[in-house]
């Protein structure tokens, strides 16, 4: 006869008590399996609810309405221009220095660094410049008077004898610096008047 250890052996009554406790769970599991079996039987024997039928007009290949075949009418609506809003086209979340928390510089204004004798003439020409938007992508670009310019691009301002050639030297998130005849002009977003 093999000796049994009292600590490891289970008395005969504990198995019966466990089975009584788990009886509710076992009955519930059997009911769920039976319900699942009935549902599968209905599906496999095709005794379930009828499938939804398509509309007769669509089944015949005819368009349901005239609006579905007509092309969409798309019209261009000019958005209102509000100074300081929607004027910086940055959407690159991985770009460094995006200015998420805003800029500390004041919007608007024109900065000139020039000699006193030709400053008045250059100021008149600089007043015609308007910075409309700044876009940052692979290469920063600025929209000045309807022209899309990037760093190093040259363009002419003025008419006749008062024509002046300018070069874009710096593009930042809120301003663009131009050099015209050894004069540095700074345009800022949201500028309304030059004072």
Per-residue tokens: 14: 């504990």
Name the pLDDT band for 30 (thresholds 50, 70, 90): very high
Q: Would 55 be classed as within a structural domain?
A: no
Q: Would 182 be classed as within a structural domain?
A: yes
Of 130, 132, 153, nearest to 89 by C-alpha is 132
Q: Residues 40, 111: one domain?
A: no
Q: Residues 112, 183: one domain?
A: yes
Bigger pLDDT: 191 vs 138: 138
Q: Residues 181, 113: one domain?
A: yes
Task: Quote the CA–CA distance of 169 and 148 in Å, as a whole number.
Answer: 14
Q: Would 142 be classed as within a structural domain?
A: yes
Average pLDDT, the chain: 73
Q: Would 87 be classed as within a structural domain?
A: no
Q: Of the given ranges (23-37, 80-94, 134-148), which has the lowest mean pLDDT?
A: 80-94
Q: Would 165 be classed as within a structural domain?
A: yes
Of 10, 160, 188, 34, nearest to 104 by C-alpha is 188
Contact present, 180 and 150 (Cβ < 8 Å): no
Give pLDDT tens digits for 56-106: 655 555 555 555 555 678 888 877 777 766 555 556 666 665 554 444 444
pLDDT at position 28: 94
Over the range 145-182, which residues count as b (16 or more CB within 10 Å of their CB) and which as e? eeeebeeeeebebbeeeeebebebeebbbbbbbbbbee
User: Where in the sequence is the domain holding 23, given as residue range(s)?
Assistant: 12-48
Q: Would 125 be classed as within a structural domain?
A: yes
pTM value?
Answer: 0.40
Q: Would 4 be classed as within a structural domain?
A: no
Q: Would 167 be classed as within a structural domain?
A: yes
Domain count, the chain: 2
Cα within 13 Å of Cα(20), Cβ side: 5
């Amino acid at each position: 006869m093999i000796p049994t250890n009292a600590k490891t052996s289970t008395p005969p009554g504990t198995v019966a008590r466990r089975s009584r406790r788990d009886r509710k769970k076992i009955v519930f599991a059997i009911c769920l399996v039976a319900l699942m079996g009935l549902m599968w039987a209905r599906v496999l024997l095709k005794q379930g609810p009828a499938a939804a039928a398509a509309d007769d007009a669509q089944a015949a290949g005819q368009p349901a309405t005239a609006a579905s075949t007509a092309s969409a009418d798309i019209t261009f609506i000019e958005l209102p221009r509000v100074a300081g809003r929607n004027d910086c086209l940055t959407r690159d979340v991985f770009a460094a220095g995006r200015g998420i928390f805003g800029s500390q510089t004041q919007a608007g204004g024109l900065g000139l660094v020039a000699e006193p004798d030709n400053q008045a003439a250059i100021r008149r020409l600089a007043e015609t410049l308007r910075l409309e938007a700044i876009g940052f992508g692979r290469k920063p670009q600025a929209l000045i008077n309807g022209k899309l310019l990037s760093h190093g691009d040259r363009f002419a301002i003025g008419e006749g004898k008062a024509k002046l050639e300018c070069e874009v030297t710096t593009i930042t998130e809120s301003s663009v610096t131009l050099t015209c005849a050894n004069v540095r002009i700074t345009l800022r977003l949201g500028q309304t008047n030059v004072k």
